[in-house]
Amino acid sequence: MNSRPHIKLFAFVSVLALVGAAVAAAEITPNPVRFGGASVKSVFIVNRGSTKALYRISIDPPRSVFTVNRASCAVAPHGKCEIRVRYSPSGQSEDRATLHAVAPSDRQDAQLIGHSGSGGGGGGTGNGPKSCTLHVARHQKLVKRVHGKTVRSPYQVSLMSSDDGTVTAQAVGKTASGKQIFLENANSFDTAGNGVVLKLKLGRGSENLLRVELAAGRSPTMTLSASCSNDNGTTPVGAKLHFSDGKRGKGFKLPLEADATVK
């Protein structure tokens, strides 16, 4: 009896086993994703495997009240990719759809559930994580001079949730003339009790407006809005940011500094 076919078959099965072992072990979190009123939520594809994976993103049914900000998501080994899902209520008591993330060797689905009640920022308040703790360092220098060079740093906040979910933060304000100033929003997946540092970038446009305000002797502020979210809703926290410079009067001098009063 010729054993070669068996040897070839064994080798072929072994190769398939190795290929299967290399497939990315991914998941979508949170799942399901719940919305309370018109809002945008962050959903993450988390790759727990050792190979990079490219996922095609879609929603079923298409052209539903749920939309996504990207058509694909490349996830590095042991990394994650963020998808922003927007919900625009249909007026029905409940809207449902399915988020699909499909790679050549993997498929992940997440349920999207929306209710038309109020909740704006994503899921209502008071029914989310049991606690959401905000920490901010005092007197953070966002723009400064170091050895003759201008150095810019993002504003950093730390959020710790009592439950697995997502944390997010952003800051918005206005100048005396009504022009918007802001720190770019940041968000991340968070595991219960671990805490995440979020970095909120100050764009050049807002920086220039802050310089003008401070040079005129005014004291610009922003409202920092942060939250911890899970499947049950959102728990908000916040602070008031006060901006100052090195001159602290008419005219402007670096550093440009942000200080916070936690609400």
Query: Average pLDDT, stretch 112-134?
Result: 64
CA 81 to chain centre: 10
What's the whole-number mean pLDDT along residues 107-111?
92
Q: Calculate the average pLDDT of the chain.
A: 83
Alpha helix segments (H runs only) across 104-262: 204-215
pLDDT(91) > 70 = yes
Residue 23 has pLDDT above 70, yes or no: no
Does residue 241 contact residue 170 with C-beta atoms inside 8 Å?
A: no
Q: Parallel, antiparallel, or unpaired: how do β-strands 196-200 and 256-262 relate? A: unpaired
- Name residue 166's beta-bridge partners: 189, 229
**Separation of alpha carbons 233 and 206, rounded Å:** 31
What 3-state DSSP class applies to 79?
coil
Alpha carbons 54 and 107: distance in angstroms, whole number = 11
Question: What's the pLDDT score for residue 203?
Answer: 92
DSSP code string of 100-146:
EEEETTEEEEEEEEEE-SS-TTTT-BSSS-S-EEEEE-SSEEEEEEE
Q: Confirm whether pTM is higher than 0.85.
A: no
For residues 165 and 190, is the Cβ–Cβ distance under 8 A?
yes
Query: Of all helices (H) and strands (E), which one includes residue 10?
Result: helix 4-22
Largest Cα–Cα distance in the chain?
97
* Closest by Cα among 110, 124, 96, 129 to 37: 124
What percentage of the chain reaches a pLDDT higher than 70?
85
Residue 127 is predicted with a pLDDT of 60
Residues of the chain by 3-state class (helix, strand, coil), percent to 5: 10, 55, 35
Average pLDDT over residues 171-178: 92
Closest CA to 27 of 9, 43, 8: 43
